Every structure is written in C-alpha cells, then in structure tokens.
C-alpha cells in the first residue's frame, strides 16, 4: 500500500491541503477523521472512496480514523449490516484499532445536551405532526411559520421531553426542535427536528430508548466527543454545515470539529443508492448484497476485484468539489492493472469443442511445463498434460473463416499455447450440421510452441486435455445496467441488463481442482476469474471478474 499512499500524497487534493495547513498553523498536531456509515445496508464503491479518504489522510499525517456507526434509526438498521461493514472496511485494508464507536454510545450524553438546549431556550417540544411541521416550513422565497409551541415555557418542554423519553407518547406525537430561525434562508436552520419518538428495538441499545436523535443532532456532537478534527462528508451535507456549527457553538462540547464536503462518487452503468441496492436484493434481481454484479464492496470482492485495485481506483479519481460521473471502465482499468501483475495464468474453456489429434497415441499423456505468470518470475511453473483428445474454444474455429479470422479452420495450422502446432484435417458434424469434433494432426517438432523451420502460425489457442480437464460452472458477468445512466428515461429497473449474468458449463485445468474461494486467476485469452465462495472440489464455480481487452471483438465491432 505504501507506493499507492505516496502517489495519493504526491497528487494531494483540497482536503489534504487543508489538513496540512492546519498542522502548519498549529491548529492541530495530527488529524482525527472518522468513517460514519449508517448500518442500513452494505457498503458500496462510493463508501470505499470515503473510507480511502478518511483512513488515508489519518495514515499519511500520523493521525487516526475512527469507525463510527451512525446508528440513530433503529427501524432500518440491522446487526447483519454492522458485521458486514466491519468486514468490508478490514478487507479494504484499513484498521481502526481500538477506535470503534457508535452514535448510540452517546445517547445519554446527547440527551443531556438536548436538555441543555431546552434550558437555554434553544429548543422546545413541538406537539405538531410531521405533516404540520412540513407544511409550515415555508418555501425558498417565503419564511416558515413559527410553531404555536415555540414560546412554550422551558419547564413545560423539559417535562414533556422527559415524558417522551419515558415512553408516555406514541410515535410521531411530539418532537424536539431547535429554536433557531424560521425565516432563515437555510431550511436546515428553520427550527430543525432534533429528536423523534420511535418505539423500535435498537440493535445495540435494545429497548432502552424510544426517542432517537436525528442525524444532524447526533453527527457533529459525536465528532466532538471523539475529538474528530476534520469531519469529511459528501456535498449534500453542505447545507447542513450551518446547523452543524450552530450546535457545536451552543453546546458545551469537549472539542470543536470542522466539517468539509467533497463530491460523492457516481459510477456509470450502476447505482450507488442504498435504497435501490436494497430493492435489487429484496426483489430478487441479483443473488444478494454480495452478488458479483453489485457495486457493493462484498460484491466486488466476490467478483474477484482485489482490495488494492479498489484503493488504486480511489486514488485515481481523487477528491473534488464538484459532482461528476466516473466511467466504470476506470475502475476496471485499475483492477486489471493489479490482476495482470498478480493473477496466475490458467487454461479454461468456456464453450468446449472437441479436437482429436489423430497422430497422437490413444493413452499417451505428456506433461508440459507452463509459466504461471509471465509478469512475475517468482510465480513459478505448473505442469499441464497434453493428450489425444482436447477441448478448445468453439469460437476459435470457423468452418468458413471470415476475413481477418486467423484462428483454426479447415486445412489451417495454429499453435496450441506451450504445446504443439496442429492442423485441422477434418470437420465432423452431427445430423443438424453442428460441428461436434475436429480431427487434427500435430507436428512433433513444434513441442513448446516453436517450429525449427521458423514458421509461425497467426494464432495461438488455449486448450485442455479432455481426459484431464475438470468441469466447472462459469458465470460470465457484465454490467448490471445496460446503459451508462440507468433510470435516466424513467424506470431504473427497465434498464437492468438481461445479459448481466450468463452461466455456462465449461472446463478448467486440474490445478484448479482445489481453488480456494476468492482465488483469482487469468484464464488465458478469456479474462480474469475468481472462485466463488460457494465453489468446492467436485462442484467448481468461477465468476468472471473482467474480460481481457479483446482485439477480435474490436475488429468485429468495426465491421
């Protein structure tokens, strides 16, 4: 991670500049940041950007980053999400050490501060319904209306707030509101709600509470309790900053955090809204939160994306102050760069076509040594057996080859990678005219893939010994949505890509018989593939992480 961290730092950004300036001016000695997920869903690639930013800054400047669950809405939050979030942050390569916190750790303190505001005439209990409060908020051009309860005596608000906590009232009967300014041009300052009544069991505090602080009342105060210096959030919170500062200013908090906003990550061909991701899961459009097509961290992991590739991507896109949509191809580029370096090469055949080498003896098998990764000399070699019956890829053969198709065809010679040159002598078809077998001859002088006379076939194909190959289920993944801007024309779900998952039965080489879940390899010429968590010996399942760049597809596309 060190080289990546350095390159981030070399590049810097406006937030790192602010942190550096605060240190230089002596305002802080080291930065304290936090990553504050709400446990109401799984983390996605957008969160990864925020995680890399917060933990990255802490590491680079010798500070620390807290993991704090923003668990203030028990109706939507679950232990499953809490566990998944911790696992995903760790897997991304970050460590919060002992600094694991929850907004719910501070419920008693936050309650005390709410009482403090009431006592100082800065908050009041409002008996209006949510609809009434919404209807009196005013508009962009008109101020809001003061609540009829705004001038209620302090003692009365204190009493009612205590009874709200005690459970005397049903959900929605009353709220606690800050008493700021109903005429403020900023809606967030028009007497925002600080506490609401919610009779729901909380994953951590159980039934101890039936009133819960809003995000705005919990967030800044939690930052202050934890000594957070730079509270980094996405741009939609910019309008909340005046409220954040107002609360910090009017409460006896132990430290003064500052909020800074950066642009959220948007990715083409996908959605990063937890609400939509939840629907994809609950409505069965995908195999779960960790479906390899999901932009969740757990989905990307199952797909075979290495954590390093995700961190590199976060560094690549950087941190800006204006929103933009990043091409998903950029993420794929970062991932390919890592996998090209780290993934061992293997042979796999997705759509097998039988080849019989007629001049090769029936029961002779010959082990051939093949380099595991040409990019990494330390990765060593493996042995793959050659034999009389082979599998090649069906689309590596054409009975009537179109122009620029250089692969196998009747009468043509090709190289089988690291093995021999073969020539196609005969094509066998079934009654329906479908090619079922090719009869070929090999040239014994070309062992290893070179001919003594220097002749060079135009194509090199991957292959497997049919007797030795192991069957595998292979899931070919493509973008979940078929357009870069899903939902732009209306129904998001109508833009789901029907071919985002195609399952085939293929073969892989024997060295993959015991592939560990998560192990990512390159099937030569086909792409990167990762063993699925459910893959096991005898029932192998591989997920296609990404294709390699395919020059033939480009030629075809050009027509």
Among all residues, which ones are annotated catalytic? 38, 264, 274
Please tell me whether residue 73 binds ligand ATP under the rule CB under 6 A.
no
Taking the complex as a whole, the smallest distance from the CB of residue 138 to ligand ATP amounts, in Å, to 25
Please tell me whether residue 292 binds ligand ATP under the rule CB under 6 A.
no
CB neighbour class for 263 (10 Å; exposed up to 12, middle 13-18, buried from 19): middle
Binders of ligand ATP in range 422-461 (CB under 6 A) = none
* Cα angle: 195, vertex 198, 203; to 5 degrees: 105
Q: Which of 264, 394, 417, 468 binds ligand ATP (CB under 6 A)?
A: 264
- Strands 389-393 and 381-386, sheet pairing: unpaired
Q: Please report how many Cα atoms fall inside a 13 Å half-sphere around the Cα of residue 270, on the Cβ side.
A: 26
d(CA 30, CA 195): 33
Q: Which of 36, 144, 220, 348 binds ligand ATP (CB under 6 A)?
A: 36
Position with the least CB separation from ligand ATP: 46
Stretch of 44-52, 121-129, 130-138, 447-455 lying at the interface with ligand ATP (CB under 6 A)? 44-52
Stretch of 90-98, 174-182, 264-272, 391-399 lying at the interface with ligand ATP (CB under 6 A)? 264-272
| Residue 132, CA distances (Å) to 161, 190, 193, 216 in order | 19, 14, 13, 20
CB neighbour class for 432 (10 Å; exposed up to 12, middle 13-18, buried from 19): exposed
CB of 353 or CB of 480, closer to ligand ATP: 480
Please tell me whether residue 265 binds ligand ATP under the rule CB under 6 A.
yes
CB of 49 or CB of 479, closer to ligand ATP: 49
Could you give the 3-state DSSP secondary structure of residue 27?
A: coil
550 is written with which tokens? 């395919």
CB of 139 or CB of 282, closer to ligand ATP: 282
Please tell me whether residue 213 binds ligand ATP under the rule CB under 6 A.
no
Assign residue 448 a region: left if phi > 0, alpha if psi is -120 to 50, beta otherwise?
left
Stretch of 32-40, 288-296, 310-318, 435-443 lying at the interface with ligand ATP (CB under 6 A)? 32-40
Q: Please say whether the beta carbons of 177 and 199 come within 8 A.
A: no
Taking the complex as a whole, the smallest distance from the CB of residue 307 to ligand ATP amounts, in Å, to 17
Q: Give the burial string for 248-261 (b: 16+ CB within 10 Å, else e).
A: bebbebeeebbbbb
CB of 70 or CB of 105, closer to ligand ATP: 70
Q: Please say whether the beta carbons of 541 and 512 come within 8 A.
A: no
CB of 274 or CB of 311, closer to ligand ATP: 274
CB of 168 or CB of 323, closer to ligand ATP: 323
Q: Which of 31, 37, 74, 309 binds ligand ATP (CB under 6 A)?
A: 37
Please tell me whether residue 68 binds ligand ATP under the rule CB under 6 A.
no
Please tell me whether residue 40 binds ligand ATP under the rule CB under 6 A.
yes
Stretch of 16-24, 47-55, 385-393, 435-443 lying at the interface with ligand ATP (CB under 6 A)? 47-55
Taking the complex as a whole, the smallest distance from the CB of residue 236 to ligand ATP amounts, in Å, to 8
Taking the complex as a whole, the smallest distance from the CB of residue 54 to ligand ATP amounts, in Å, to 8
- Please list, in sequence order, all residues whose beta carbon lies within 8 angstroms of the beta carbon of residue 264, skipping any fewer than 6 positions away: 46, 49, 234, 235, 236, 272, 323
Could you give the 3-state DSSP secondary structure of residue 28?
A: coil
Taking the complex as a whole, the smallest distance from the CB of residue 51 to ligand ATP amounts, in Å, to 8
d(CA 57, CA 336): 26
Stretch of 41-49, 59-67, 171-179, 549-557 lying at the interface with ligand ATP (CB under 6 A)? 41-49
Taking the complex as a whole, the smallest distance from the CB of residue 60 to ligand ATP amounts, in Å, to 19
Q: What angle, 0 to 180 degrees and rounded to 10, lies between the N-to-C axes of helices 307-317 and 328-342? A: 140
d(CA 551, CA 336): 16
Reported as type and span, the H/E element at residue 429 is strand 421-429
Taking the complex as a whole, the smallest distance from the CB of residue 110 to ligand ATP amounts, in Å, to 18
Please tell me whether residue 49 binds ligand ATP under the rule CB under 6 A.
yes
CB neighbour class for 242 (10 Å; exposed up to 12, middle 13-18, buried from 19): middle
Site of interaction with ligand ATP (CB under 6 A): 36-38, 40, 46-47, 49-50, 70, 233-234, 264-265, 272, 274
């Amino acid at each position: 991670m060190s080289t990546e961290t350095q390159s981030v730092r070399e590049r810097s950004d406006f937030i790192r500049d602010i942190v550096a300036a605060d240190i230089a001016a002596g305002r802080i000695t080291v930065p304290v940041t936090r990553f504050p997920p709400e446990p109401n869903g799984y983390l996605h690639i957008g969160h990864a950007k925020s995680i890399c930013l917060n933990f990255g800054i802490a590491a680079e400047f010798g500070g620390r980053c807290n993991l704090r669950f923003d668990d203030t809405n028990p109706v939507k939050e679950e232990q499953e999400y809490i566990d998944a979030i911790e696992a995903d942050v760790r897997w991304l390569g970050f460590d919060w050490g002992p600094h694991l916190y929850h907004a719910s750790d501070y419920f008693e303190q936050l309650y005390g501060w709410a009482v403090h505001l009431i006592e100082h005439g800065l908050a009041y209990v409002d008996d209006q319904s949510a609809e009434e409060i919404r209807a009196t908020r005013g508009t962009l051009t008109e101020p809001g209306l003061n609540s009829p309860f705004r001038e209620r005596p302090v003692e009365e608000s204190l009493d009612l707030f205590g009874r709200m906590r005690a459970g005397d009232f049903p959900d929605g009967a009353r709220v606690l509101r800050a008493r700021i300014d109903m005429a403020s041009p900023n809606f967030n300052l028009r007497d925002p709600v600080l506490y609401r009544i919610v009779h729901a069991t909380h994953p951590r505090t159980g039934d101890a509470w039936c009133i819960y602080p809003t995000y705005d009342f919990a967030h800044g105060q939690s930052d202050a309790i934890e000594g957070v210096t730079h509270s980094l959030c996405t741009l939609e919170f910019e309008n909340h900053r005046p409220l954040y500062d107002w609360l910090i200013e009017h409460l006896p908090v132990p430290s003064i955090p500052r909020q800074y906003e950066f642009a959220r990550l948007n990715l083409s061909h996908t959605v990063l809204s937890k609400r939509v991701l939840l629907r994809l899961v609950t409505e069965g459009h995908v195999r779960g939160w960790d479906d390899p097509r999901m932009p969740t961290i757990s989905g990307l992991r199952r797909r075979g994306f290495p954590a390093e590739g995700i961190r590199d991507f976060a560094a690549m896109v950087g941190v800006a102050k204006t929103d933009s949509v990043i091409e998903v191809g950029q993420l794929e580029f970062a991932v390919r760069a890592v996998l090209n370096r780290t993934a061992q090469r293997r042979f796999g055949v997705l759509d097998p076509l039988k080849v019989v080498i007629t001049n090769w003896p029936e029961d002779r098998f010959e082990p051939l040594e093949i380099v595991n990764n040409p990019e990494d000399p330390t990765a060593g070699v493996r042995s793959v057996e050659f034999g009389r019956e082979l599998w090649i890829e069906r689309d590596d053969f054409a009975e009537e080859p179109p122009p620029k198709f250089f692969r196998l065809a009747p009468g043509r010679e090709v190289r089988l990678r690291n093995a021999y040159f073969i020539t196609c002598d005969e094509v066998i078809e079934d009654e329906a005219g479908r090619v079922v077998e090719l009869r070929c001859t090999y040239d014994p002088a070309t062992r290893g893939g070179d001919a003594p006379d220097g002749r060079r076939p135009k194509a090199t194909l991957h292959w497997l010994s049919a007797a030795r190959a192991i069957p595998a289920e292979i899931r070919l993944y493509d973008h979940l949505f078929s357009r870069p801007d899903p939902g732009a024309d209306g129904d998001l779900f109508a833009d789901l890509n029907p071919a985002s998952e195609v399952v085939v039965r293929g073969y892989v080489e024997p060295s993959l018989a015991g592939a560990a879940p998560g192990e990512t390899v390159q099937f030569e010429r086909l792409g990167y593939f990762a063993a699925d968590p459910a893959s096991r010996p005898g029932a192998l399942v591989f997920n296609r992480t990404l294709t390699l760049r395919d020059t033939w597809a480009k030629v075809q596309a050009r027509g």
